[in-house]
Structure 1
């Protein structure tokens, strides 16, 4: 025994292995009984529940920051949380996903603060234009993402108007065109997406500027420079066709066309008017 005791492995087995073996055997015998095993599991569950339901872990209030009052109310309903509840029972990731599914929410961050407050930090989408498509009127943010619906265009008359299928997919280009049209912006009624390829800029007095598929901003800037020099858009024009960069085309109104024909000595009697 003395020789064995001098062996390091024997000492480790005797001091550690034997107690572990005894404890494991006693535990196995104890949990072999179904009633004792069920009582042990229930005791653990009760202890866990008591710990999680302590007052310092309970959440009873929701604070929504960064959202308008209407959106904040929608967020509270969308989160689907029943309070008061333990912070251990709240699925914050699921609640965040539900909130971010709202069109008006760009992102959301949820955290439990002291005092039993669930803080929701919201980044709200800001509408920058109105989109008319079919019978629907929607507000879009700068990326073209839907923010909310409108019952009437006049509800947000302060925002520029775009129309046509696919206009939401090129919202950034539309904003660039509106920025380039700043000198004539009071006359601008809106942008119409044509064939999901290019834009028509619609002005008052039923005037229309047909922009090219590519380099629309540059074409519009050149036209505005010409308008400043020649006061072009103040004339009796129906359309300015800029689709061909090398050959812009002006379409005159009927009265202007008749005056031009008279100046050229062409008969403009009623039978000859087109």
Structure 2
């Protein structure tokens, strides 16, 4: 049989003779038998070339050379993206969860989507690294959901206070690291710490003040002085100058005085508690005038401050 041995092929009148190298009678491997039959039919003139075969062969060659050129030029990722996008794998949906401070527009910009981005060629890890560089993002995870969705999960940094240094306002974490410029009304309720070194030392003092809500609720800001101690600025403009040590005792003392004499609601500018042996109260100009007038009427020497 011809399927097994070339040497047994009979020749008819007018038929072409097989080449000598194909007529030695050897047995072909099974996987070569079908190609050999097709070759034999073409050689004997029994096989008709289908229409447009030359056109198809030309297109195949052009396509092969184009792919090879794209590979050599490093454009294969773009080619794969374009083909996959036009076959139903273009990114059509982006779902973002876990964000509160981070803008969705900023996240989409970091993804680099152009409307024809293919989910197959989309580099999720590279996109995750870019999203993680956004100010409020602590960690990010990106997952591809076939055929056309990207899911982004964001864990944001936790704001602790607003730090004012000069004219600049920034939101900081508990450890003092700067998150982003202060620009959102949702951060207006955070404690305000002011001055050089306030960001690094704010955590301990803010937590101390939170233990005294009656005073913390009336505070507008905590001022770090000389990187050594704190002033507390109240909502009525009164400043409490706390000592470098013994802050807790000083706060408890001033709260006891306020409960008894409402000293924090009096006509005063500041209460100086930096000294161990005395407490100094600075009066407002109006209160000072009234006090001096009262002293004049009584014939007593004037004083510019009152000690308690």
TM-score, with normalisation over the residues of structure 2?
Answer: 0.57
SS in 1 for 2:122: coil
Structure 1 58/223 Cα, relative in aligned 2: closer, same or farther at 3 Å? same
Q: Are positions 1:252 and 2:276 aligned together?
A: no
1:136-147 aligned within 5 A: 136-147=168-179
1:263 Cα deviation from its structure 2 partner: 11
1:1-274 aligned within 5 A: 53=84, 59-68=91-100, 71-82=103-114, 84-87=116-119, 89-150=121-182, 157-214=188-245, 216-217=247-248, 219-244=250-275, 246-253=276-283, 255=287, 258=292, 266-268=300-302
Q: Deviations over 1:52-105 (max 9, x none)?
A: 949686644321112248611111113335554445533333322322222222
**Residue number in structure 2 paired with 1:24:** none
1:109 Cα deviation from its structure 2 partner: 1.4
CA distance in 2: counterparts of 1:69 and 1:192, whole angstroms: 27
Greater helix content: 1
Structure 1 unpaired stretches of 5+: 1-37
Which one is further off, 56-65 or 179-188? 56-65
8 Å CA contact 2:119, 2:147 repeated in 1: no
The total of aligned residue pairs comes to: 230
**Residue number in structure 2 paired with 1:21:** none
TM-score, with normalisation over the residues of structure 1?
Answer: 0.63
1:264 Cα deviation from its structure 2 partner: 9.3
Higher relative contact order (CA 8 A, sep 6+): 1
Rg (Cα) greater in structure: 2
Q: CA RMSD in A?
A: 4.2
1:163 Cα deviation from its structure 2 partner: 1.6
**Residue number in structure 1 paired with 2:56:** none
SS in 2 for 1:176: helix
CA distance in 2: counterparts of 1:57 and 1:202, whole angstroms: 59
